Structure 1
């Protein structure tokens, strides 16, 4: 008698209307299952939303395909999965799991940001103006420093009974 110990699929919490399932018979697959955990942590604590607030978006809203929060989420989650090079995002922009946790409902119709779009996010100088041709998402270095300090202190408060109030 042979015992079958391998489940056919594992179900995770849904992301919007999308159901996340780990299975071995899918056509469009992702090998970065840890994204589901990162997504749940992000949803609980709102870290990517808070981090995105450290940027000023001077792009024309009617031309936008990706919000700053989506760009930040895509880049941070990509780095967390080991894709530190922007070039990796040429392939990742079609990854169904990354698209789901970034917030894209239908990645086949609207892929994630390209490496050149993410490059603009990362390399826009702090003194860029709305008149700049491409680089219009400006970071606020002081806000980023405050975000990291606050996130660190919040993490300590959550973990340590001494800091809980």
Structure 2
């Protein structure tokens, strides 16, 4: 049986100092007084290159809806759904609550200030 190391301070420090490897050469600023914060910041690591397969999947789904009435494309809905799953919201009952989450908006290729997701 594997030992639980979540309370091990030494392991936590090792994990914390692994972060510079992921952001090497990039400027990082932490500011916690912004009006729009998200606890789903890990989605920032899912850049466009890592999510390009979602665009390919969305392109395979036929869209028979009236195009003039569409607010959210299949691509946007798929990106939002996968983003929610990656953040631990697997059962999809949090969609309304998370539709204005800035990290999920960026996952769907939108700006945090853009309209809410579907």
TM-score range, shorter chain: 0.5 to 0.7
The residue aligned with 1:91 is 97
What TM-score, normalized to structure 2? 0.68
Task: After superposition, give the CA deviation of every residue in 1:77-125 in whole Å (9 maximum; x if it has no partner).
Answer: 1101101122211111010121122023443xx2101xxxxxxxxxxxx
| Divergent runs of 4+, >2 A | 20-23, 103-107
The number of aligned residues is 90
Larger gyration radius, structure 1 or structure 2? 1
Distance 1:32 1:21, change over 3 A: farther
* Superposition map of 1:6-45 within 5 A: 22-38=30-46, 40=47, 43-45=48-50
What TM-score, normalized to structure 1? 0.50
| Cα distance in structure 1, aligned partners of 2:105 and 2:99 | 7
Query: Taking CA–CA contacts closer than 8 Å with sequence separation of 6 or more, which of the two structures ends up with the larger relative contact order?
Result: 2
Match of 1:64 among 44, 50, 70: 70
Q: Give ranges in structure 1 of 5+ residues lacking alignment.
A: 1-11, 13-19, 114-165
Q: Give ranges in structure 2 of 5+ residues lacking alignment.
A: 1-22
